[in-house]
């Protein structure tokens, strides 16, 4: 890199070598002062509207980073890394950062590498990686759309199965139960009333189970009461069925979210509760939904036995992967915190965009 690009000192001729990807390079001495730069370095200074006296030969580059670090975390990280290389604590340092340019937001990669050439001790190089980042964004967008398509297809199939269970099987069972009740009402015409009563009870339990299955496949509560009410219903159902104390915390006035986001939150909560029932051995769980700082945050925690995350991934971990895919499809992420004997917490964060605030969950 250093050999391929000729550096210009004060008064030197301009470089006649320009790499395919512009690399802005400066050499600094042990005190952090710039002793040499190439043309692209000065071009970057012009592009970012930095004064040449601040970033040209003779300027204190560490002081430039030090002043910028008061306003930028990335500048503070860069300053720390360059100092470590100068002090020979590490051979090199690199980081990616963003910077406003007249053309818009630019993406750059900064590297600092030890160098012993005359009084120069570190080569600082800034490479424009905007095209690379744009390509990564486009690729991520394609993956995100593909994941969302798979999830939508799955939900459509669940909705179809739910409708068939509710309308077809549920209706037939209800008709059978009604017919048997009619027979029971005709006293004296059957000697097996007790047995028929057991059949009616069994059909009623089966009908209830099918209704619960239908609702879990496609929760109708989301459409009518929103995510707040749906989470409370879900928590109550698990509490009643599995005797686990489940606390649900949702602000009293919580605006409606987009249907995709509400379904994502519901499914991840559902998966978490199922994992708690199957694996956690917990007697208490907590669901918290909140909205702040331009993002939605869902937290599901339990008082169970916890686990080693790497073991769960090796043993399949399909549930966690499913949650991560759902979050990714909406530009969010899932963070799992757990350890043996310390319970488990699953946190979903999703950036909020244009969310209609029409319906309020009481």
The C-alpha atoms of residue 332 and residue 317 are separated, in whole angstroms, by 19
b/e map 304-328, b = 16+ CB within 10 Å: bebbeeeebeeeeeebbebbbbbbb
How confident is the prediction along the chain (362 residues), in pLDDT tens digits per residue? 332 333 333 333 333 333 334 578 889 999 999 999 888 887 766 766 666 667 788 889 888 888 775 556 778 888 899 999 999 999 999 888 877 666 667 788 889 999 888 899 999 988 888 777 676 666 666 666 666 666 666 666 666 666 666 555 666 666 666 767 666 666 554 455 666 666 667 667 666 666 666 555 667 667 778 888 889 988 998 888 888 999 999 988 888 888 888 888 988 998 899 889 888 889 999 999 998 878 999 999 999 998 877 666 556 555 777 788 888 888 888 888 888 888 899 999 998 864 444 433 33
C-alpha 23 chain-centroid distance: 33
Burial of 20 (0-12, 13-18, 19+ CB in 10 A): exposed
Q: Which helix (H) or strand (E) holds 166?
A: none
The β-bridge partners of 127 are 23, 109
Tell me, yes or no, if the pTM score tops 0.85: no
């Amino acid at each position: 890199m250093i050999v391929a690009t000729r550096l210009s000192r004060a008064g030197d001729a301009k470089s006649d070598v320009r790499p395919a990807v512009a690399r802005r390079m400066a050499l600094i001495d042990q005190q952090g002062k710039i002793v040499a730069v190439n043309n692209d370095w000065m071009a970057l200074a012009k592009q970012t509207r930095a004064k040449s006296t601040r970033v040209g030969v003779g300027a204190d580059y560490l002081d430039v980073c030090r002043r910028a670090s008061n306003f930028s975390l990335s500048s503070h990280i860069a300053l720390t890394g360059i100092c470590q290389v100068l002090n020979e604590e590490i051979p090199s340092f690199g980081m990616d950062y963003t910077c406003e340019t007249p053309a818009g937001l630019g993406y750059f990669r900064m590297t600092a590498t030890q160098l012993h050439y005359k009084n120069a001790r570190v080569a600082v190089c800034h490479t424009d990686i905007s095209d690379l980042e744009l390509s990564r964004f486009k690729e991520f967008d394609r993956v995100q759309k593909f994941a969302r398509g798979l999830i939508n297809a799955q939900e459509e199939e669940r909705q179809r199965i739910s409708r068939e269970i509710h309308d077809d099987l549920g209706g037939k069972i209800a008709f059978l139960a009604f017919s048997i009740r009619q027979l029971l009402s005709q006293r004296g015409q059957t000697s097996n009333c007790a047995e028929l009563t057991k059949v009616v009870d069994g059909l009623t339990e089966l009908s209830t189970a099918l209704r619960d299955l239908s609702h879990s496949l496609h929760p109708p509560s989301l459409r009518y009461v929103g995510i707040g009410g749906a989470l409370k219903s879900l928590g109550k159902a698990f509490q009643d069925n599995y005797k686990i104390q489940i606390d649900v915390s949702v602000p009293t006035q919580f605006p409606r979210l987009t249907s995709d986001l509400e379904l994502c939150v519901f499914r991840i909560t559902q998966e978490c509760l199922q994992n708690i029932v199957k694996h956690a051995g917990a007697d208490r769980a907590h669901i918290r939904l909140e909205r702040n700082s331009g993002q939605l945050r869902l937290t599901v925690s339990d008082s169970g036995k916890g686990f080693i995350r790497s073991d769960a991934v090796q043993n399949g971990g399909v549930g966690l992967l499913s949650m991560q895919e759902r979050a990714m499809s909406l530009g969010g992420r899932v963070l799992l915190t757990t350890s043996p004997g310390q319970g488990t917490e699953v946190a979903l964060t999703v950036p909020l965009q244009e969310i209609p605030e029409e319906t309020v969950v009481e």
